[in-house]
């Protein structure tokens, strides 16, 4: 096991611990999703050996090969990136949890595919776009109630909670209002549900605001390798 990796994980643990206690939360209620996008399968093996259980990937195609190498059952696989409708079937086969449900059309498609594939339950997070950036993924607040309503009636999709990727700010404090607003929406639409929020540079603020899943890439694995694909 790489020394650097275990040191980075210990540091993240300590930071989560501190931020949780600051607000009287039990640090064990917060789980790490190690975001392994662009990282080779060997990096995932190393993290598994260091005790990481949940991995986040943002592209179905890229994840497919790595999941085959590591083994579908040897870790928990979370899709955290935008899901194109033509990749929905593969996603249902490959992933344990989808964080990036961002439209009613996608929800209907996933529900139908679960039925066809004999997938009993698929936990999903609704990705919310609170910045109103049209280039960003996520559903706008005004479209939330209809999607929640659909999910309440769904047999296979289980609404696990809400997810957000706030705009990037140099000062993570500036992301706090987004995390806070997402928590309010969670309380209103998924009482007792989870909050998927917080990345390498802002997860401490996210934990202070109630994150139950933090999605951390570079702080776990180091800088990403981007290769042509």
The binding site for ligand PLP (CB under 6 A) comprises 35, 37, 58, 80-81, 165, 199-200, 215-219
Tokens describing residue 124: 């999903």
Residue nearest to ligand PLP (CB): 217
CA-to-CA distance for 102 and 124, rounded, in angstroms?
10
Shorter beta-carbon distance to ligand PLP: residue 20 or 199: 199
Shorter beta-carbon distance to ligand PLP: residue 26 or 223: 223
Q: Are 199 and 169 in contact (CB under 8 A)?
A: no
Least distance to ligand PLP from the beta carbon of 95, Å? 14
Shorter beta-carbon distance to ligand PLP: residue 80 or 182: 80
Least distance to ligand PLP from the beta carbon of 130, Å? 15
Least distance to ligand PLP from the beta carbon of 91, Å? 15
Q: With b meaning 16 or more CB within 10 Å and e meaning fewer, what string describes 48-74? A: bebebebbbbbbbebbbebbeebeeee
Least distance to ligand PLP from the beta carbon of 155, Å? 27
Shorter beta-carbon distance to ligand PLP: residue 156 or 186: 186
Shorter beta-carbon distance to ligand PLP: residue 73 or 223: 223
H helices within 95-202, ranges in order? 104-117, 144-153, 176-189
Q: With b meaning 16 or more CB within 10 Å and e meaning fewer, what string describes 123-132? A: bbbbbbbbee
With H, G, I as helix, E, B as strand and everything else as coil, classify residue 195.
strand
Least distance to ligand PLP from the beta carbon of 137, Å? 8
A 10 A CB-CB count for 134 gives 7
């Amino acid at each position: 096991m790489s020394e650097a990796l275990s040191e980075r994980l210990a540091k993240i643990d300590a930071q989560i611990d501190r931020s949780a206690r600051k607000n009287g939360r039990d640090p064990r209620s917060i789980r790490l999703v190690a975001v392994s996008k662009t990282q080779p399968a060997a990096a995932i093996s190393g993290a598994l050996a260091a005790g990481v259980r949940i991995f986040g990937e943002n592209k179905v195609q890229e994840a497919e090969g790595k999941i085959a190498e590591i083994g579908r059952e040897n870790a928990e696989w979370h899709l955290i990136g935008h899901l194109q409708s033509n990749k929905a079937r593969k996603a249902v086969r490959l992933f344990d949890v989808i964080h990036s449900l961002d439209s009613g059309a996608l929800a209907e498609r996933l529900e139908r595919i679960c039925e066809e594939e004999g997938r009993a339950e698929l936990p999903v997070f609704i990705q919310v776009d609170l910045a109103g950036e049209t280039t960003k993924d996520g559903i706008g607040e005004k479209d939330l109630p209809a999607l929640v309503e659909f999910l309440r009636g769904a047999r296979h999709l289980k609404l696990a909670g809400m997810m957000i990727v706030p705009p990037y700010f140099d000062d993570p404090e500036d992301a706090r209002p987004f995390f806070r607003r997402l928590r309010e929406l969670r309380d209103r639409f998924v009482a007792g549900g989870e909050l998927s929020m917080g990345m390498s540079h802002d997860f401490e603020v996210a934990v202070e605001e109630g994150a139950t899943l933090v999605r951390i890439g570079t702080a776990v694995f180091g800088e990403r390798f981007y290769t042509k694909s």
